A and B are shown apart, each in its own frame.
Chain A
């Protein structure tokens, strides 16, 4: 019997053969923590070691400040400070402070992530690093503190589902819409504990930003990790940043032809239309046109799921076709994922045009993924957002959020009501 990608990753990390269903101890390539959770990890580590312990390897630990960057309260400031001091004391040099952006994206841009790596982080969307075939997973602070002690942690070798995607997106439709459709079809528990391999021509052609989107939302279906083997321009990009060995690393974890899959699902995206996750659950999915006309108070574009340059550019396109004006009744907030993305958008002249149109452009951060940062909603307000969760009251008690693609979100911003972006981008076309 052959091996799936996750089995090969775990074999490398555990140094032995693995079988689906068993628990294995894996060596950790990166154990990271954010401003959220990071302080608990540091305090816990100090408590366990009575303040005298050294982490197993300071060069394998990174901190990223992104949930509330810059800090929005004394408690958060204090947590960030605790982390800075811990890092200094432990000789951990990779502390990406409040001026960097969303952690996973920063790690990726810095060339710190390689295919086959095992990565822990205090972020349930850590697994978006599966976009370059790393096994990254969100864990609690105890798991992190434990890994700092030993450099290892335990995992169950998961079953694997294979998802094959073919076809080209129509104009106005994007990877986010495919994903939203997938979440709606499979449900919040649809990938329970599974590793998911995404393949097919749509995936092979896709940009890194699209792969990020796809892998980040595996969490919303309770999946363990979504994996895409880097190829083509994505692999070139990665090799340039993380070193040429990523090519071998990727090849070494390619799945065997007879690898065991619990299920193979096939999708064709060529007939797909824009989709939305309606209030108050990511899997409450309907086509955007069915909820078109719902008045919107606020639109937010950003987050680890859809905050890359290409996402911002997609929103820009919709805005451009609408004469660079957002509806005066809608507060529109754009948050780039990282400083690199922000600079890209600035150099492309986009930020200026967004501002002219009335958009609030924030510094890179997680922004509206919590009710404690930019753009919390008051009770009764309706938001459209490209983030990944719209649980009850997530960004404000009594508020409701529709999740959608950057294009659909900007279409809502422009018209003041939920709008099928094809009404804007397909105007005057056959």
Chain B
């Protein structure tokens, strides 16, 4: 997870709920590898996301990203699509847990919600993200943002690769 990640931004608003990320219609799916095809199908204006997203692209969102259901599909569909990190002002509690438990990083980015609203960061902007420091540079607009690093426990879980590997390693140690 070190080094600088580079990719394009896909920009979303506040309160993006889990039905918009991954609709309840496809809940019976259990294989994460089949999930990316349904990403953002119900998000007005982002219907093409699943087809056009490239590994390395970023999801950028405002407040309360992933509110609603507990479905882990909403994490898998983005992780499996190759989106390396979620950049959001805040994200919902369950979504956050699900992300951490899968070793999938979320950065809480101060001011990103209003930047999205004001059009300071737009779809297609070229971003550079440094996970270690939380620094986000929008190379298209020249602006920078700062994302909060996670707490120690979450960092441990993340670096183990998720909750399951973390627990296994703890059991071995204990």
Contacts and interface: CB of A to CB of B under 8 A. Distances in A.
Is A in direct contact with B (CB under 8 Å) within the complex?
yes
A140 B98 contact: yes
Interface of B: 15, 17, 19-20, 23-25, 27-30, 42-44, 63-64, 67-72, 75, 90, 92-94, 97-98, 101-102, 151-154, 162-164, 167-168, 171
B65 to A, nearest CB: 10
A146 interface: yes
Contact of B42 (A39, A68, A219, A397): A397
Given A141-B72, A188-B15, A393-B19, A79 B30 contact: yes
Given A23-B151, A138-B94, A392 B27 contact: no
A403 B62 CA distance: 25
Interface string A29-56: 0000000110110011000100000000
Contacts of B168: 48
Nearest to A72: B28
Contact of B72 (A37, A149, A393): A37
Determine which residue in A39, A142, A389 has the highest number of CB atoms from chain B within 10 A of its CB, and name it. Answer: A142
A156 B44 CA distance: 34
B93 A142 contact: no
A25 B71 CA distance: 23
A372 B72 contact: no
A392 B67 contact: no
Given A48-B168, A73-B28, A79-B30, A143 B97 contact: yes
Interface in A210-225: 219, 222, 224
Sorted from nearest, which 5 A-B pairs have the closest CB atoms? A75-B28, A140-B72, A140-B98, A138-B70, A142-B101
Contacts of B90: 189, 192
Nearest to B32: A40
A224 B93 contact: yes
A139 B70 contact: yes
Contacts of A389: 17, 19, 68
A114 B156 CA distance: 33
A219 B101 CA distance: 20
Contacts of A138: 69-70, 94
Nearest to A283: B15
Given A79-B30, A124-B70, 11 more contacts: A124-B68, A138-B94, A140-B94, A140-B98, A143-B98, A143-B101, A189-B64, A219-B68, A389-B68, A392-B44, A393-B19
Contacts of B15: 188-189, 281
Nearest to A192: B90
Contact of A124 (B94, B154, B162): B94
A36 B27 contact: yes
A96 interface: no
Nearest to B152: A23
Contact of B164 (A40, A123, A146, A154): A146
Contacts of A75: 28-29
B153 A154 contact: yes
Interface of A: 23, 36-37, 39-40, 43-44, 48, 67-68, 73, 75-76, 78-79, 121-124, 126, 137-143, 145-146, 149-150, 154, 156, 188-189, 192-193, 219, 222, 224, 281, 369-372, 389, 391-394, 397
A140 B68 contact: no
Contacts of A141: 72
B117 to A, nearest CB: 15
B93 A222 contact: yes
A360 to B, nearest CB: 21
Contacts of A140: 70-72, 75, 94, 97-98, 101
A392 B75 CA distance: 19
A202 B73 CA distance: 39
B164 to A, nearest CB: 5
16 contacts: A36-B71, A40-B30, A40-B72, A67-B27, A138-B70, A140-B94, A142-B98, A146-B101, A149-B164, A154-B153, A192-B90, A219-B68, A222-B64, A369-B24, A371-B25, A394-B19
Contacts of B70: 37, 121-124, 126, 138-140
Contacts of A154: 153
A124 B69 contact: yes
A40 to B, nearest CB: 5
Nearest to B168: A48
Contact of A391 (B17, B92, B98, B152): B17
B55 to A, nearest CB: 22
> Which of A122, A140, A154 has the most chain B CB atoms closer than 10 A to its own CB?
A140
Contact of B162 (A36, A78, A142, A394): A142
